[in-house]
Amino acid sequence: MKLTRKQILTRGIIKENPVLILVLGLCPVLAVSTQAGNAIGMGLATTFVLLGSNIVISALRKIIPGRTRIPCYIVLIASFTVLAIMAIEAYAYTLYQALGIFLPLIAVNCIIFARAEMFASKNTVFDSILDALGSGVGFTLALFVIASIREIFGSGSWFGYAIPWLSENSVMIFSLAPGGFIVLACVLAAVNKLTKTYELRTHPGCNKCPNAGACGKHEHAS
């Protein structure tokens, strides 16, 4: 199954959304999704690292030896993360403060690693850029949706602007860790229902699996 460029770009947004379908990178999703503004910032920072690492890894895919590819990827991803951190600390200090420890943790975000290992290491630079943009936007979108729900009900505001009535009657659990799990589960359930990913459980098979393209073993199973 050869993907067109448009498919490479768009599949990460809904069909293979890294958070909502592939269920990757949940640590930042749960931790940073208390405010919509922070979620956008985190999403953009992650997209930048994803883009940088995908470009370099796909450009070096013929040079990086198979045996030491994992340390090579880690060095590259961590370097891009530190670049992003320095830029954010210098030019967007409030965001830097709000994201805290989760900014350095982009280095170990499994979405970035998954894209490097499953896509960038096997495809051209241009395709990898499209793939990174798709996955990055998908991650940002998922984070934004979850953070909006949590901020609106948990803090009674949206992007920091108070919402009448809700701001006086906020439900604090939405802002806390359990609320993060509950909202994430509800959003996952809704997306599963809408995209019919739940059919995977009842009708397993590579054709319906969002990972089939990357896994490359789909011709062996039926």
Partner 1 sequence: MKRTYVMPLVVLTLICIVASAALALMETVTRPIISAAAAEREAAMMSEIILEAEGFEYIDLSGLSGVPQTIRAVYRTTNNVGYIFIAEVSGFSGVITIICGIDQDGQIIKTVPLSHSETQGIGTIIDTPAFLTPFQGGDSTLEGIDTVTGATITTRAFINAINDIFQALEEIRNGA
| Site residues, partner 1 (CB under 8 A) | 34, 60, 63-65, 67-68, 71-72, 75-76, 78-79, 82-83, 86-87, 89-91, 93, 97, 100-101, 154-155, 172, 175-176
Closer residue to partner 1 in complex, CB, 89/199 = 89
Q: Supply the minimum distance, in Å, between the C-beta of residue 25 and partner 1.
A: 20
Residues paired with residue 194 on neighbouring β-strands, in sequence order: none
Identity of the residue, 21 or 152, whose beta carbon is nearer to partner 1 in the bound complex:
152
Q: What are phi and psi of 158, to 5 degrees?
A: -140, 120
Which residues, 6 or more positions from 71, have their beta carbon under 8 angstroms from its beta carbon? Answer: none
* Closest distance of CB 206 from partner 1, Å: 33
What is the distance between the alpha carbons of residues 113 and 110, in angstroms, rounded to a whole number? 5
CA–CA gap between residue 17 and residue 39 (Å, rounded):
16
Q: Which is nearer to partner 1, 60 or 108 (CB)?
A: 60
Question: What number of residues does the chain have?
Answer: 222
Q: Which is nearer to partner 1, 21 or 84 (CB)?
A: 84
Smallest distance, partner 1 to C-beta of residue 34, A = 6
Nearer to partner 1 among residue 179 and residue 213 (C-beta)? 179
Distance of alpha carbon 115 from alpha carbon 110, whole angstroms:
8
Nearest Cα to Cα of residue 139 among 32, 22, 48, 18: 18
Q: Which residues in 102-112 are b (16+ Cβ under 10 Å) and which e?
A: bbeebbebebb
Q: Which is nearer to partner 1, 67 or 201 (CB)?
A: 67
CB of 170 to partner 1, least distance (A): 8
Q: CA-CA distance, 53 to 59, in Å (whole number)?
A: 10
> Measured in whole angstroms, how far is the alpha carbon of residue 92 from the centre of its chain?
21
